[in-house]
Amino acid sequence: MMPKTEDFAPSPGALIALYEQLRAAYGAQDWWPADSPFEVAVGAVLTQNTAWTNVERAIAGLKAAGMLSCEAILAATHEELAERIRPAGYFNVKARRLRHLCGFLADKGGLEALAVLPTRTLRPALLAVNGIGPETADDILLYALARPVFVIDAYTRRLLVRHGLASGTEDYETLRAGFERALPADVALFKEYHALIVEHAKQVCRRRPRCGDCALVETCGRIGIT
DNA sequence: TACCAGGAGAAAA
DNA sequence: TTTTCTCATGGT
């Protein structure tokens, strides 16, 4: 089914204004925190429904074991891999997902080889990999492969609802399409926008971890977003 | 101690 | 087709 793009049509001015306020409040984020595109891809799987601090421990564990490569992950047993990524939670599930992703990458000739494929081909291919959903695929496309794809996450959804730009019932593709229609297809802008939304949520959640569906009120007020 | 977190797939209704 | 359940650690 085609996404319901008519349900989310923010004005470019509203999205740019929000971005500029976040940028003024938090400065340049220079995301994603990783040493290589492959580390970005691994991190994108490990961070599923998990705080980034736990993901950092898991990636450090993979690095320490010399397992931060497609070949090493595919060569390891399920138990070895799961043990290394245990701090990220859901370790059995994520170990399978990492192996699926690495199998896909190995089959395609590595992450670098994907550079020749257009996004309209690459995105469906990533989504066809078991364990790679829309957010994970878009993290990889934007931060590992520099494609102008806007990443939607729970923080983005909450921010949009808080500011009356979305109802909260829109599906992932609707929100992504809305951002991509309203904003210029600028990889640096998309990277920074998503990173700023995450930072914005972290700043608040650090103090008020159980603030329900209105977590952004305090910081929104402080930086003048209402 | 109990609750929650940057998701995704499978099973059930 | 939509909703519910499952996976699991670490911080508060």
Q: How far is the CA of A74 from the C1' of B10 (A)?
A: 24
On the CB side of A143, CA atoms within 13 Å amount to 28
pLDDT digits (tens, 9 = 90+) for A51-97: 888 999 999 999 999 999 999 999 999 999 999 999 999 999 999 99
Please report, for residues A52, A54, A88, A167, the alpha-carbon distance to residue A200 in angstroms, rounded to integers and kept in the order given: 14, 19, 22, 20
Q: Which two tokens stand for residue A170?
A: 């829109």
Of A162, A160, A161, A140, the C-alpha closest to A151 is A140
Footprint of strand B on the protein (CB under 7 A): A 44, 47-52, 89-90, 93, 129-137, 139, 151, 153-155, 172, 198, 201, 205, 209-210
- How far is the C-alpha of A158 from the C-alpha of A156, rounded, in Å? 5
pLDDT digits (tens, 9 = 90+) for A12-38: 999 999 999 999 988 999 889 899 999
Residue nearest to nucleotide C12 (CA to C1'): A209
Please report, for residues A105, A150, A201, the alpha-carbon distance to residue A218 in angstroms, rounded to integers and kept in the order given: 42, 26, 10
Report the nucleotide nearest the CA of residue A87, measured to C1': C9
Q: Do A37-144 and A12-30+150-219 have the same topology in CATH?
A: no
Percent of chain A with pLDDT over 90: 72
Domain ranges of chain A: 12-30+150-219, 37-144
- Whether domain A12-30+150-219 has CATH 1.10.1670.10: the reply is yes
CA-based torsion, A143, A211, A204, A222: positive or negative: positive
A62 and A84 in contact (C-beta within 8 Å)? yes
- pLDDT (average), residues A163-177: 89
What is the pTM assigned to this prediction? 0.91
Thinking of the domain A37-144, which architecture would CATH place it in? Answer: Orthogonal Bundle (1.10)
Confidence of residue A204 (pLDDT cuts 50, 70, 90): low
Q: How far is the CA of A210 from the C1' of B2 (A)?
A: 12
Instruction: Report pLDDT for A2.
Output: 40
Average of per-residue pLDDT values in chain A = 86
Instruction: Report pLDDT for A186.
Output: 97
